[in-house]
Amino acid sequence: MAKQIKKEIKRIKKRKKKIIDPVKILPDSSVFVALIDKKDSHHESVKSLFDFINNYKYHLMIYSIVIIETISRLISKGWTVGGAIKSFANVHDLLSKGEVYEGGNITPEEILKRFKNFNRAKIRFLKSGDFMIMSEGILLDALILTTDKQAYKDVKKYYKNIYFVSDKAKKVKSDLPKFIGDFYKLVSTHQ
């Protein structure tokens, strides 16, 4: 399985050569919801984190499924559609200090390859959106940011560069200090 994953990583890197050099950060929708919703218990942690990383050059990876999930989750929390869309756009502009890469056009063949390549890893049991986000982060060797306890626990066993970026959760230890150290080391070598 490790051979198949390495082969897939090489293929993805060739396909997306322009985004390989600077540090890649892939936040999932839980991070965007926390960043946008000031009432979210993870808001302060996530906001402070982005205040820190916006001082450095990095690639922010935003995928269609993350945008869809973020807006849907905000709406389910009582936000209006217009309010959710406007708030996401405002946060997107704020984070554009990092070079933003927006993606999401994955072919059916690529999806099938991912399930095949990850068939022994527990991440294949993630919800469909989480599977796509996490597998993309793994294949791009990105730093994956989340406040989703279950996705974090499932992926952490197989991928060391996923970070739980809140200090407000019960039963999950925050990776904020580890992320800041790892991120700083990486950007120091890429600047």
In a domain, 93, yes or no: yes
In a domain, 103, yes or no: yes
In a domain, 15, yes or no: no
In total, how many domains does the chain have? 1
In Å, how far are 32, 35, 90, 141 from 166, measured between CA atoms?
A: 13, 11, 22, 21
In a domain, 13, yes or no: no
In Å, how far are 34, 114, 154 from 160, measured between CA atoms?
A: 22, 18, 11
- Tell me how far apart the alpha carbons of residues 156 and 137 are, in angstroms, rounded to a whole number: 12
56: Cβ contacts below 8 Å, ≥ 6 apart:
23, 98, 183, 187, 191
Predicted pLDDT of residue 16? 47
Tokens linked to 10: 């090489």
DSSP 124: G
Q: Are 57 and 179 in contact (CB under 8 A)?
A: no
In the sheet that holds 24-27, the strands lie side by side as 99-103, 59-63, 24-27, 143-146, 162-164
Predicted pLDDT of residue 131? 85
Predicted pLDDT of residue 14? 56
In a domain, 16, yes or no: no
Domain assignment of residue 135, given as a range? 2-7+21-190
Helices (H), the chain: 2-15, 29-36, 43-53, 64-76, 81-95, 108-117, 128-139, 149-156, 176-190
Q: In this structure, what CATH number is given to the domain that contains residue 139?
A: 3.40.50.1010
| Largest pairwise CA distance in the chain | 46
**pLDDT by position in tens, the chain (length 191):** 445 555 555 655 555 444 346 789 999 999 999 999 999 999 999 999 998 898 888 888 888 889 899 999 999 999 999 999 999 988 877 776 556 666 666 788 888 888 787 776 767 678 888 888 898 898 889 999 999 999 999 899 889 999 999 988 888 899 999 999 999 999 887 65
In a domain, 14, yes or no: no
Predicted pLDDT of residue 20? 42
Sole residue written with tokens 């950060």: 25
Q: In Å, how far from its chain's centre is CA 188? A: 21
Q: Would you call 121 helix, strand, or coil by DSSP? A: coil
In a domain, 169, yes or no: yes
- Tell me how far apart the alpha carbons of residues 139 and 121 are, in angstroms, rounded to a whole number: 14
pTM of the model: 0.82
Q: Are 175 and 165 in contact (CB under 8 A)?
A: yes
